[in-house]
Amino acid sequence: MNHEPTVQSMPGAIVSGSSRGIGAAIARRLATAGYGVCINYVENEDSARTVAEEIVASGGRAIVVRADVGDCDQVQRMVKETAAAFGGIRIVVNNAGFSQHSTLDEMTVDDWSRAVAVNLSSAMFTVRAALPFLTNQPWGRVVNICSLRAMTGSDHGSHYAAAKSGLIGLTKSFALELAPLITVNAVSPGYTRTDMNATALATREAQIAAKIPAGRVAEPDEIAAAVAFLASEDAAYITGQTINVNGGIYM
């Protein structure tokens, strides 16, 4: 007998940094799959509420939680609120990111610490807080959103590239530690049409697209599609992997 819960009783999914861009697209995908979704934000409350309202209007379930994922205490509160709202947690997507153009001589210690906290430490905080709920499910999924810069490095954001590179190591380590019940993978987007890339695309989109074998930048939903697959039951035999969704700019 299949004891898998129905769509309406599916547990929760946390998507950090999901008020816009890739995170919002992931949240919509997971809500369509039946999960109750935590829409997380730090500053963009209006955008977060808009995403949640869209999900609810489409028949899904969503809550909005303000939490700085670089702060362990705030993450623990977010996780508890999500589990209480949806009767558990099956999926964690560590999507929140902090990026800035800053060369080594310009970068402050606070800049470095913030990049590491949001891009790397937050994943550990969230998975650790969610672990009791993830292990209470028949299976669980963790998907970490990495970056092209983890592969190539950066001449204007070494703190971002270093933190995202660390996230790949964390992904592999968690995959080993949490197997076989929970799979842990990373998705590494290339250039994607998001607010984070808006300035570069506004001035150099043609030049950027010319470097990409696919001939264009990605749309957020194309990244979300890969995440949704890795978060599904169909991806049960994939763990510890980093999937590059970048149009071929890095192979």
pLDDT of residue 195: 79
Residues with catalytic roles: 160
pLDDT of residue 8: 56
Helix and strand numbers (H, E) in the chain are 9, 7
Q: Which of 48, 29, 15 is nearest to 221 (CA)?
A: 29
pLDDT of residue 72: 98
Query: Locate tokens 């790949």: which residue?
Result: 168
Domain boundaries, the chain: 11-245
**DSSP notation for 176-230:** HHHTTTEEEEEEEE-SBSSGGGHHHHHHHHHHHHHTSTTSSPBPHHHHHHHHHHH
pLDDT of residue 99: 87
Give the pTM: 0.94
- What's the CA gap between 17 and 114, in Å, rounded? 15
φ, ψ of residue 64 in degrees (nearest 5): -115, 125
pLDDT of residue 3: 42
CATH number of the domain at 11-245, please? 3.40.50.720
Residue ranges, the chain, pLDDT below 50: 1-6
